[in-house]
Amino acid sequence: MKVLGLDPGLRLTGYACVAMRDGRDALDEAGVLRLKRGDATPDGLATRLVELEADLCDLIERIQPDAACVEAVFAHKAFPATAISMGHARGVILLTAKRAGLPILELAPAVVKRSMTGSGRATKDQMRLAVQARYNLPAPPTPADVADAIAIAAGGLLRHTQPAPTPLP
């Protein structure tokens, strides 16, 4: 089982592929899709979204994941426009993954942080260090979008490979 984790963004979209090997998760690949800075017009935004779709199609074709996992929408009161911006990228990610026939899982940021660090309120640096330690990386992943994508993929893999809890009688 291979899961493609995606941390949506209109400038940088983090991605990571985590696979199950010998009963353990292993990091296959991680990086960012860097989108060209466009103007603030609707046409500039649409151009970046088309670029994101093309990059995602290429990535999915190359990696051949079994599922995709994306960070759920969240809004921070200090940065409300970020949620709107992220929503555009998430829409493209969901559409592209669905067209590729991938099952899609969404995880809330706090769930991703808790599964990687033990705390749903972990900082970016704590996440980067936890990802480095878990996958025995020589350095913390940079930018933080990469660490987030790795954690999202790991959380998605865990959800896809764990048996569902048995309901109580």
User: Which residues belong to the active site?
Assistant: 7, 71, 145
Dihedrals φ, ψ of 3, to 5°? -120, 130
DSSP 8-state class, residue 139: S
Token pair, residue 107, equals 């995880």
Using CA atoms, how far apart are residues 5 and 81, in angstroms rounded to an integer? Answer: 23
Amino acid letter, 143: P
What is the Cβ-side half-sphere exposure of residue 14, based on CA atoms within 13 angstroms? 21
